[in-house]
Chains A and B, each alone.
Chain A
């Protein structure tokens, strides 16, 4: 019955169907090459300095910050699914929890790795903990992301210990059992930390008084972008999770989770996206009519420089916000897999566009009277590092899928995906 040649059979769960070792190696090979290229590019930046990038004094944040913000928003599915399962008791989402944790771990560990290359002095990373600035959003982000990465690691360990070999032996099995029991605590902690750091990442931009494009008023110390970023993150997290699961199903030719589960994820994502679109629209109107003019910028000022025209705003809110929300909520489209996945993909694009606009457009726009509109194209080292992060994610997820019970219910769902 085992038609595939599996030289690593010992590591694969008994009875689980996996592709042959040779094919798996072939799948990993290009990603490994991309990862090596990424590590080399990052190595150049660490060795020679950040002059290897095309960032400069005016574009102090570039491709990598956009990447970090996007990847952290996409990885929000981890904490949010945990919150839904353990705090709100949505047991129907349990089958996808392991995959969500692995995806979250990939996103956060990758983001932190790229951040270490992005800062000028990575060895001084601990300074933030020794001299925290309670007024700075970035201090908050640093603390929360560090703690949350620790939480994700602790949530990943029980999944790792479910590997056939790693979980052998009493100490491993018992430790997994004991740690697994405490995962609800970690889930609660993760939700608390994630709320704050997703928000603070938005707060990073909202407090920039000197950048009228990004600056927002809000509640107390928190600008509106704080809440918008949290909302957009929890809206897109389930969508990204759904896309990754669908990709796994396509690649393996096997259904991994009940079809209903993907639809449910889409529905949750759609509802949150709709709330986000409403909130963002209100915020944009306030910004255009009150906040921005108060520092001297009339509405639409910020969109006078191509390619950052007002079409971008429309695309972000309508095409990548309202439309996917509709696709994910409206039963007729949500029931159709292609529309469901399209909605999820559009939602993810919306978040990517939002993070891009907040990072790059903010810095491109002039602030002084004698400033100009600036442009920035990332260098190959930046792009290669970006590619390396994606490769890292694909490799870790592929290995996790092959050797760990990521989707749990494999046996029951062992039907050909094409026969749906």
Chain B
């Protein structure tokens, strides 16, 4: 049976602690940022944004929105535009698989991604001496000049598949596979599972009326859902008008 792995992130539970970001970096062998790296040149396959409702003073409400690759299902923008098919939608799992070893570094996919979820290796990775011992052996390290992004900790899926194969089973045990961010989140804000399975908790969460997807109107069918009881958070799904954005920026 084909799987469609996805997530539902409960924004009401996210405290903005950033444990998911750290776990992601550790799992995926993200090198320490270079001296001159900035927020716009770092590699953060999971990135927590601070968002607000635009009000000021006492009435201001804020929240945290962890953004990762949305694993777009329909006409995946990055897959459509990559000139050498260095990214593909895996039909078996629904994961949008980035192949850094085939990437030319043209960065067209980064232009195409509506969610800014792709990151370029602007520097060669350098680990301080001794830190290489903390590298995850299941994940390939990337050189400079290639694009990378979240691939739902595919190495962990492999490990689960190997475990199942060793036990003679054809399908993995769902409990064996969860991305690092899901495991690390202290409040359990991220639910992960197979969206194609109607009974999976993630499917049920995705169908709830409080669930929303970012930029759903674009029609990319992301498999990362968000959930919130707060209407202003749900309104973040679609871009504000420029007028209200100006209010946000200039107060």
Do A and B contact each other directly (Cβ–Cβ < 8 Å)?
Answer: yes
A367 close to B (CB within 8 Å)? yes
B21 at the A interface (CB under 8 A) = no
Contact assessment for A61 and B41 in the assembled complex, using a CB-CB cutoff below 8 Å: no
Number of A-B contacts (CB under 8 A): 182
Q: Which B-chain residue is minimally distant from A52 (CB atoms)? A: B122
Q: Out of A58, A304, A305, name the residue touching B116 (CB < 8 Å).
A: A58
Distance in angstroms between the alpha carbons of A30 and B220 in the assembled complex: 52
Instruction: Pick from A126-134, A232-240, A253-261, A383-391 the stretch touching chain B.
Output: A126-134
Flag whether A136 is at the interface (Cβ < 8 A). Answer: yes
Distance between Cα atoms of A372 and B82 in the complex (Å): 26
The number of chain B residues touching the other chain, given as a range, is 35 or more
Given the contacts A57-B116, A142-B83, A209-B114, A120 and B240 also touching, CB distance less than 8 Å: no
Residues on A with beta carbons closer than 8 Å to the beta carbon of B243: 304
User: Are the C-beta atoms of A301 and B121 separated by less than 8 Å?
Assistant: no
**Contact between chains at A139 and B83 (CB < 8 Å):** yes
In contact, B81 and A207 (Cβ under 8 angstroms) = yes
- Give residues 184-223 of B contacting A (CB, 8 Å): 214-215, 217-220
A356 near B: Cβ within 8 Å? no
Kindly identify which residue among B105, B110, B215 contacts A367, using a CB–CB cutoff of 8 Å: B215
Given contacts A119-B106, A132-B84, A138-B108, contact A370 B51 (CB under 8 A): yes
Total interface residues on A, CB under 8 Å, equals 54
Q: Given the complex of chains A and B, what is the CA–CA distance between A51 and B36 in angstroms?
A: 9
The reply to whether B85 and A138 form a contact with Cβ atoms under 8 Å apart is no
Closest B-chain residue to A143, C-beta based? B83
- How far apart sit A367 and B41, CA to CA, in the bound complex (Å)? 19
Contact bitstring B98-141, A, C-beta under 8 A = 1, else 0: 00001111111011111110111111100000000000000000
Top 5 nearest A-B pairs (CB, nearest first) are A120-B105, A120-B145, A210-B114, A304-B242, A56-B40
Does B235 make an interface contact (CB < 8 A)? Answer: yes
**Cβ B84 vs Cβ A131 within 8 A:** yes
Most B Cβ at <10 Å: residue of A56, A57, A304, A369 = A57
Cβ-closest chain B residue relative to A204: B108
Q: CA–CA, A128 to B241, complex, Å?
A: 39
With beta carbons under 8 angstroms apart, the residue of A55, A304, A368 that contacts B246 is A304
With contacts A210-B112, A210-B218, A211-B111 taken as known, whether A120 is within 8 angstroms of B81 at the C-beta atoms is no
Chain B residues near A204: list those with CB within 8 A: 81, 108
Q: A51-B122, A370-B236 are in contact. Are A208 and B110 (CB under 8 A)?
A: no
Q: Residues of B at under 8 Å CB distance from A?
A: 34, 36-38, 40-42, 49, 51, 65, 75, 77, 79-86, 102-108, 110-116, 118-124, 143-147, 214-215, 217-220, 235-243, 245-246, 249
Neighbouring B residues of A363 by C-beta, 8 Å: 111
Chain A: which residue is nearest B107 at the CB level? A60
**A119 and B104 form a contact (CB under 8 A):** yes
Shortest CB-to-CB span from B71 to chain A, Å, is 15
Q: Are A136 and B115 closer than 8 Å at their CB atoms?
A: no
Interface pair A127/B84, CB less than 8 Å apart: yes
B212: min CB distance to chain A, Å: 11
The reply to whether the CB of A67 lies closer than 8 angstroms to some CB of chain B is no
Interface positions, chain A 359-390, Cβ under 8 Å from B, are 362-363, 366-374
Chain A minimum-CB-distance residue to B44: A57
Q: In the bound complex, how far is the Cα of B37 from the Cα of A351, in angstroms?
A: 34
**Is B217 touching A209 in the complex (CB atoms < 8 A)?**
no
CB of A121 within 8 A of CB of B103, answer yes
A50 sits at the interface (CB 8 A): yes
Check: A43 CB closer than 8 A to any chain B CB.
no
Bound: A61/B217 CA distance, A: 25
